[in-house]
Structure formats: structure tokens, C-alpha cells
């Protein structure tokens, strides 16, 4: 018989939080979130902030361009593109597309797991640590809006 107290309480709380959060945000955001969630490291809350901020900037007609440094697979830029479907704003994404360097010994994820150990396991099996493909990122972002944004560019740093 398993111990009834042998529960990952952090995971349970996180799931409850996300379930509650989903009841607060609108269906349009959730649709956009479903389109970009596999292409970003941002949490649903951070993406919701980006969603609201993108809409505010467009509604207030604030001039400027959208720039992201550390684009990875394009999820955050994708949210910005989806959140402002009629925007003619220039969009720039920058990344090395080669992945991250080895984490320091004192870096841990939210569950207390060593990021260095996770990096070592991934790279020993030949994977890059958070690497991305420039062409796949570009194709993903261009697929989000028809017609695609006219002033759109990804750059390798």
C-alpha cells in the first residue's frame, strides 16, 4: 500500500494553479497558448503578460518594433504575432541557435534538481541544451499569421 502522504505537493499545487488560471483567461488566449506552448520556455502566466502587453501597445498605437533576444524556438514571438494580428510592427528575433552553455554548479530548477546534472545527461547523449533550428523557428513563426508579417526577421547572434 502506498503512503497517502507520498505526493509531489509542488507539482499538485502547480497543476491546481494552472487549472485555476485557465478559468480566468479568455478562450482566445488559450487558443494562442496552445499554438505556442511547445515552442517556448515561458510559463503560461508570462505568456499571458506578453499577450496583454502586445494588445495594449497596439491599441495605444505606441510606435516601435518587437525585439526578442533568446528566441529559441519562437514561442514568445509567436504569442506577440498572434496577439496583434493586424499590426504592421517590425518583428526581430535574435538567438545563437546553438544552445546554452553548461550551467553553474549552484543552478537548480524549481524542484531542486541540478541544472548541471540535467545538462550533462542531455549532452552526453548528443543533445544540445536548449538548441534550436533557425529555419524551423522561422517556418513556425511565418505559419501563425496569414498573410505572414511583412517586416519579420530572425538573426543569429
Q: Please, what are the domains in the chain?
A: 9-97+132-156 (3.40.50.150)
pLDDT in tens, 133-157: 999 999 999 899 866 666 778 888 7
* 49 pLDDT higher than 80: yes
pLDDT in tens, 60-108: 999 998 899 989 999 999 999 999 887 788 889 999 888 888 999 999 8
* 1 pLDDT higher than 60: no
3-state secondary structure (DSSP) of residue 75: helix
Strand partners, 152: 91
Rounded-to-integer distance, Cα 142 and Cα 149, Å: 7
Burial of 66 (0-12, 13-18, 19+ CB in 10 A): buried
Please, what is the average pLDDT of the chain?
86
With b meaning 16 or more CB within 10 Å and e meaning fewer, what string describes 79-114? bbbbbbeebebebbbebbbebeeebeeeeeeeeeee
pLDDT score of 117 = 93
Does residue 3 or residue 27 have the better pLDDT? 27
Rounded-to-integer distance, Cα 18 and Cα 40, Å: 16
pLDDT score of 2 = 61
Pair 149, 48: CB distance under 8 Å: no
Give residue 54's pLDDT band: very low, low, confident or very high (50, 70, 90). very high
| pTM score of the predicted model | 0.79
pLDDT score of 57 = 92
Does residue 146 or residue 10 have the better pLDDT? 10
Amino acid at each position: 500500500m502506498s503512503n497517502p502522504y507520498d505526493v509531489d505537493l509542488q507539482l499538485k499545487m502547480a497543476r491546481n494553479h494552472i487549472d485555476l488560471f485557465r478559468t480566468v483567461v479568455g478562450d482566445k488566449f488559450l487558443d494562442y497558448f496552445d499554438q505556442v506552448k511547445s515552442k517556448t520556455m515561458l510559463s503560461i502566466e508570462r505568456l499571458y503578460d506578453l499577450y496583454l502587453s502586445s494588445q495594449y501597445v497596439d491599441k495605444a498605437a505606441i510606435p516601435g518594433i518587437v525585439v526578442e533576444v533568446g528566441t529559441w524556438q519562437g514561442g514568445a514571438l509567436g504569442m506577440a504575432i498572434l496577439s496583434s494580428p493586424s499590426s504592421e510592427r517590425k518583428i526581430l528575433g535574435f538567438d545563437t541557435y546553438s544552445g546554452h552553455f553548461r550551467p553553474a554548479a549552484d543552478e537548480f530548477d524549481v524542484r531542486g534538481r541540478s541544472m548541471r546534472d540535467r545538462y550533462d545527461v542531455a549532452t552526453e547523449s548528443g543533445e544540445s541544451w536548449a538548441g534550436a533550428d533557425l529555419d524551423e523557428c522561422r517556418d513556425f513563426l511565418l505559419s501563425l499569421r496569414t498573410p505572414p508579417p511583412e517586416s519579420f526577421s530572425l538573426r543569429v547572434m
